[in-house]
Structure 1
Amino acid sequence: MKDAHGRPVTGRVSARKFAVLAVPAFAGTAALAIALANGALAASFAVSGQQFKVSASSLDGDGFAQYGGVDANARGELLPVAVTAIKKAELNNLCQSVVTKLPVLGNISLNLTAGTGGKPVEAENLYVDATQLSGNAAFHNIEIGRDASTLDKGPADAQGMQDAFSQQADDVHITDLKQTAWATNAGTFKLSGLSMKISKGKKECF
């Protein structure tokens, strides 16, 4: 985004404002659903019927893009998402959780943690298909309202449909990150200090 004199603006966005800015990414969902159904867009894989939660004390990313998208499950149901794509990301104190309700046993929780002790989780060409995101975010050279088909700051193929809303920035820094998602993809994903636990009951990251 530039000011009246054409100079790039470096700005900070609060958690509430960030959520408001992300809402228009869903505006093109109907068109995306039609394109997906007609084969113009292809989901990378059929998502499960369960969303999962992810939290991190901080995320630092280079090459940020966000645009509307649609996931599909194995039954062919279409699920609107806000796709967040980052070229390179580092996350500290990562937590991922998913809760499954089983007959007789009840709730079973799978919890994964990594990136503790000062060595962050590292990801390249990271894509998150989210339905909720919150935190304290700061962007550099952010562009809000760009045509999703023209995005060029995120990963090479991180683009949405023509005429659809999107936003991008040179980099992003988020603290107290909390998000709910259907899927995550990454070209590489390095988890230092990985720990995974399965336990009875409902135990989520937030």
Structure 2
Amino acid sequence: MNLKQLAKSRGGRIAMVAIPVGIASAVVMGGVAQGAVPVSFSISGTSFTMGGTELNGSQFSQYGGVAKLQSGKEEPVAIANIGSATITDLCQSVVQNTPLGKVGLVITAGDAGTPVKASNLQIGMTDLKGDATFSNIRIGADASTVITGAKGSAGDFAQDSQGILLKNFSQVAYSTTASTLQLTNMHLKVVTDGSGCPAN
């Protein structure tokens, strides 16, 4: 799907107040060669989870939108943007039903003293838990005036802040894009017991 259309979609909007955001890892991220977001790709409709002990980011915004899946189904999401971020103890997982049972893919990174680094993130998420601190936050801003490069539609509810700090967070999302993603000490493994990342 076209995330620019997602970000500007007016159908099925949701007003989510003070919802911060995590990020997902490279397996589900669309790399953007020129650093421009949003980008176009098809969303499968399979959600993924990720979490970490800390996300420290700058230039944050969030507004409601709709994610269009490849099947044509629409899902309400919170669209969140972060200009740059570091993540400590990142874990991301996706589990699907297969003829062999529940098979999962788990990725960990940033757990050996050097955090994951990312820039120009955009996430379509449905759930987030954790401890959040915002710097210079504006709640109730017009989505077309947020401080990030990616913006919503005029008249839509939004929030933005100069900084965001998440601790012990976990999230569920349908899509993430990023300009760059540096995964230090990355470990990818396939699991056949249906397990994923531990809950924070």
Q: Percent identity?
A: 39
Deviations 1:154-194 (A, max 9, x none): 2x1x2111111100001010101110000110000110011
SS in 2 for 1:149: helix
Instruction: Say whether the 8 Å CA contact 1:43–1:70 is kept in structure 2.
Output: no
**Residue of 168, 172, 188 corresponding to 1:176:** 168
Matched, 1:57 2:58: no
Measured after TM superposition, the shift of residue 21 of structure 1 is 3.2
Deviations 1:121-165 (A, max 9, x none): 00000111100011100011100000101112x2x1x21111111
Counterpart residue type for residue 133 of structure 2 = A
* Matched length: 166
TM-score normalised by length of structure 1: 0.77
Matched, 1:128 2:120: no
Instruction: Say whether the 8 Å CA contact 2:17–2:139 is kept in structure 1.
Output: no
Q: 2 CA distance for matches of 1:193 and 1:200? A: 23
Matched, 1:21 2:18: yes
Gaps of 5+ in 2: 1-15, 20-37
Report the equivalent of 2:76: 80
**Residue of 136, 140, 144 corresponding to 1:141:** 136
Instruction: Say whether the 8 Å CA contact 2:57–2:86 is kept in structure 1.
Output: yes
Stretch of structure 1 that moved more, 131-140 or 75-84: 75-84
Matched, 1:90 2:82: no
Instruction: Say whether the 8 Å CA contact 2:110–2:116 is kept in structure 1.
Output: yes
Q: 1 CA distance for matches of 2:165 and 2:50? A: 16
Counterpart residue type for residue 41 of structure 2 = F
Gaps of 5+ in 1: 1-18, 23-41
Q: Tell me how large the CA RMSD over aligned residues is.
A: 1.7
SS in 2 for 1:162: coil
Compare the two structures and name the one with the higher helix fraction.
Answer: 1
TM-score normalised by length of structure 2: 0.79
Q: 2 CA distance for matches of 1:49 and 1:21? A: 25
